[in-house]
Amino acid sequence: MTFKIDPYCGSAPAPQLLMSAWNVDPYLLFAISLVAALTWLPALRDNRIRQWLAAILLLVVAFVSPLCALSSALFSARAVHHFVLISLAAPFIWRFVFSRETFWDRVPLIFIFVFHTTMLWLWHLPVPYAWALSGNAPYWIMEVPLFLSALWLWREILDVRRPAGGALIVSAATLLQMTALGAFLTFASHPLFSPHFLTSQAYGLSPLEDQQLAGLLMWIPASLPFAAAFLFRVARALTQPSDGLLVGRTAAASRLLH
């Protein structure tokens, strides 16, 4: 199945024009400004201005900087783009989105993990990925659920009010499935992503090399924050009696099923 390629970030730029390829879409700038405004008060209330600033800057890097245009040329740049969103921006901004207890807290933990895993794998498969680069609406249908699922997942992992056992299970499982996806992309015997068949050579990479680089980026750098989060929750569970592993595991098992 083929699609006419018309990526939201624009056509793949020539290397010499890359640094001038900033995305100044007014609707995008308004959306980022709106996110900044809505999360400012929770950040101020919790005295987390530096985290708030880092989150907003990472959104700018992902969608406004030349990385957006480069992701039209290289699948490996798309991997970096998703790394910035999922593994960096999401853990910074989750607490400003989920600052209060809501009915979402009653959602089974297994659903949250499956939802994020589905989004991650779906948009890194050849046909859905090619469709996402066929226009503006498909692009945002890819980006928004992927980012929201990451926010939801990171809340389960990093919120110390959540059971330690559940956080450990989710972070370990996510680490494993990202490693599996990275390995799948790295060891594939042929290039899979048609939107980049004719665009990677300008940057000195064959389509297969570009895909292998994307797999390595997802396999190692993008997985490191989840490994760090796992170690953080282990350390906290060992030093904070209220976060004890036994209690956390019991509560996590309950949430996995209900």
For residue 5, being part of any structural domain is answered with no
For residue 2, being part of any structural domain is answered with no
130 and 193 Cβ atoms separated by less than 8 Å = yes
Could you say which residues of the chain have pLDDT below 70?
A: 1, 99-104, 241-258
pLDDT of residue 247: 46
- Domain span at 252: 15-257
For residue 213, being part of any structural domain is answered with yes
For residue 128, being part of any structural domain is answered with yes
Write out pLDDT tens, residues 79-135: 999 999 999 999 999 988 876 666 667 788 889 999 999 999 999 999 999 999 999
52 and 99 Cβ atoms separated by less than 8 Å = no
For residue 4, being part of any structural domain is answered with no
pLDDT of residue 99: 67
Sequence-distant (6+) residues with CB within 8 A of 181 are 120, 121, 124, 215, 218
Distinct helix (H) and strand (E) counts, the chain? 12, 0
Question: What global pTM score does this model have?
Answer: 0.89
Closest CA to 186 of 220, 150, 216, 154: 216
24 and 64 Cβ atoms separated by less than 8 Å = yes
For residue 7, being part of any structural domain is answered with no
pLDDT of residue 193: 96
pLDDT of residue 62: 97
Token couple for 174: 């996510």
Q: How many domains does the chain have?
A: 1
For residue 225, being part of any structural domain is answered with yes
For residue 162, being part of any structural domain is answered with yes
